[in-house]
Amino acid sequence: MDRLLLLEDDSALLDGLQYVLRKNGYEVDAARTVAEANRLLAEKPPYGLLLLDVTLPDGTGFAVCEQVRRAGGTAPILFLTAADEETSIIRGLDCGGDDYLTKPFKLGELCSRIRALLRRAGMPRQEEPSVLRSGPLQIDLLGSKAALEGRPLELTGMEYRLLCILVRNANRIVTRRALLDALWDGNGNFVDDNTLSVYMRRLRGKLERDPSHPEYLRTIRGLGYQWKEAGE
């Protein structure tokens, strides 16, 4: 049985979510404050997934996420947020989050996202070369890091995964749907296209000398994206 940590300060929502999640076969530990969440994280065995509200009486879910990632925790993290602004979404994903849901949300969608994140976290990796190279770009698959012209790239987890997908398909068009399916384990139908656009824009900003005239990461209007290898 997968164990989840649920951090939510709204008592009615907390009780409702606990009931639904337990009915769906999950073991749930609940916290109403950052302090309670930190205590559970310190005292309990590692969780399979974390559900974190963003705004809490004594801090934010972002801070909990950052602490978990600094400690080496790899469990998927899903933010529950009342804010749909791009800046809030970006901050949650940049600090180590894997997905977000904007309140109010449908309980069926929440359960679908949890299942997708847990499946993805448990997928065994296929054997492949330890390094991907494409022109001046080098991706260390074992170390989960990348460098361009010898310069280390500071990538979030999702940006790194997007880059790997595109480079593995260099010079081929990868559709938005294919990217969503690859990133979200076949359940791309519930992923906001805007989130993918945010990631691609930020990734291009880290890769390109002039993001408005990209050399490598190109948008193919109406179709998707393409990683263009140097000299091709």
* 27 in Cβ contact with 3 (< 8 Å): yes
Are 3-122 and 131-227 the same fold in CATH? Answer: no
Question: Residue 188 has what pLDDT?
Answer: 39
Per domain, the residue ranges of the chain are 3-122, 131-227
Sign for the CA dihedral angle at 97, 99, 104, 107 comes to negative
Question: Residue 185 has what pLDDT?
Answer: 44
CATH of domain 131-227: 1.10.10.10
State the Cα torsion 151-182-201-147 to the nearest 10°. Answer: 0
Alpha-carbon gap, residue 11 to 13, rounded angstroms: 6
Alpha-carbon gap, residue 93 to 136, rounded angstroms: 27
pLDDT (tens digit, 0 to 9) for every residue of the chain, 232 residues total?
Answer: 689 999 999 999 999 999 999 998 999 999 999 999 999 999 988 899 999 999 999 999 999 999 998 888 889 999 998 766 667 777 888 888 888 888 888 888 899 889 888 887 775 444 456 888 898 999 998 788 999 999 999 998 888 888 988 998 888 888 887 787 666 543 334 456 788 888 899 999 999 999 999 999 999 988 889 999 865 5
Amino acid at 75: A
Judged on CB neighbours under 10 Å (0-12, 13-18, 19+), 232 is exposed
Judged on CB neighbours under 10 Å (0-12, 13-18, 19+), 44 is exposed
* 4 in Cβ contact with 49 (< 8 Å): yes
Amino acid at 189: N
* Domain 3-122 sits in CATH 3.40.50.2300: yes
Question: What six digits make up the tokens of 176?
Answer: 């938005």
